Chain A
Amino acid sequence: MTFAIIILYFLLVFMIIGAIIAVEVRDLLGSIIAVGAVGFGLSIIFLFLGAPDLAITQVVVETVSLVILIRAAVVRDDTTYDTHHNTFAVAMALIFVGAFIAFGALAYKALPEFGNPIYAQNQEKKALAEANGNPAAKEDDNRETPAEYYLAHSFEKNKAANLVTSIVLDFRGYDTLGEATVIFVSVIGAYVVLRKVGRRREGREEPASQGKDES
């Protein structure tokens, strides 16, 4: 096992322990900090899996998420305690966990094995067919996965050294337009939800008045 794989397993176990702490601890500040630790562990995993773009983005996004969560949760003195456990919901959730892992183990057999992505398997198959002397006679054996196409032709088409940026902004730029729209909509949604209109009636909190907020 290489060094990267050992670190990967260690960080995955760290993330699982952090997730359990984040969900079970009663104190809100402690659970938010645990979620922050899980996020930073995820960013280190991204670094070891060969994705430096994602590591940078995950770190800063995690920081902003933590700031927003702490802003919402900790400055209010809320004394909510989970006094009576919702036994039915906990039992259903544990049954779901068991079923998910069991069916997941069956379903992950269809994914490529870890460390050997689809484009590598495709290239191996083609190299094997070439070595055996029958170079891709049928149409089926000569397919090229999109990743192979991007790796082979991206630099000559747009001379960008960062392949991920060239995929995100050039080959699949339409998805980036959709993402910019989604961020825009979420910001407008946050503005609309938190507006001050309608808050001038103090002491008369009727549900009907709350419904007229957005006009």
Chain B
Amino acid sequence: MNGMSPIVKATTKVFMGFITVYSLNIIAYGHLTPGGGFAGGTMWACGFILLVLAFGKEDAFKIVSQRAASVADCLAAFTFLLVAILGISAGGFFVNFLSKGKEFNLVSAGTLLWLNIAIGIKVSACLFGVFVALAIFKRSKTSSEVQ
């Protein structure tokens, strides 16, 4: 799949930074402001989809490859499960065992921060993988089918 016109590419180069920073902000401050892991993760996946649409498949895969997305997805799911299992040391599954810290700070609320980050990475990698599966399939269809 080819990319789009140079205007779209230039705009994407500017916007990709904003989208990444904003989505990471929504993920990381999920325990203080509205948002959280799911909203921020989906937003980050939208950023990656913009990359694939604007630059074409080959160029976009140099920046974030499909294999990296799959590995990040599995690692984030493992981290989520690991934090949950570590709670057994403090009483039971999913117990909030880290120190709660001072309220209204970034590093507070115990395990909530790390769970949010794990969910954000997982959701973004998953949705990027789904979109890549759909996009690659289209490529193989138009190249193997006769019009």
* A contact set with B: CB distance below 8 Å: 52-53, 55-57, 60-61, 63-64, 67-68, 71-72, 75, 155, 157-162, 164-166, 168-170, 173-174, 176-177, 180, 183-184, 186-187, 190-191, 194, 196, 199, 202
* B contact set with A: CB distance below 8 Å: 26, 30-39, 42-43, 45-46, 49, 73, 77, 80-81, 84, 93-94, 96, 100-101, 103-104, 108-112, 115-116, 119, 122-123, 126-127, 129-131, 133-138, 140, 144
- By the criterion CB–CB under 8 Å, are A161 and B104 in contact? yes
- On chain B, the residues within 8 Å of A60 by CB distance are 39, 42-43, 46
CA distance A196 to B137 in the complex (A): 8
CA distance A52 to B37 in the complex (A): 14
The SS class assigned to the B binding surface is helix
CA distance A176 to B119 in the complex (A): 9
- By the criterion CB–CB under 8 Å, are A166 and B133 in contact? no
The 4 closest A-B pairs by CB, nearest first: A52-B34, A160-B109, A160-B31, A173-B94
- By the criterion CB–CB under 8 Å, are B126 and A194 in contact? no
Partner of A166, one of B109, B119, B135: B109
- By the criterion CB–CB under 8 Å, are A161 and B130 in contact? no
Partner of A158, one of B77, B110, B133: B110
- By the criterion CB–CB under 8 Å, are A67 and B131 in contact? yes
- By the criterion CB–CB under 8 Å, are B31 and A68 in contact? no
- On chain A, the residues within 8 Å of B115 by CB distance are 169, 173, 176
Partner of A165, one of B36, B73, B140: B36
- By the criterion CB–CB under 8 Å, are A53 and B94 in contact? no
- By the criterion CB–CB under 8 Å, are A53 and B46 in contact? no
Known: A52-B34, A162-B36. A64 touches B112 (CB 8 A): no
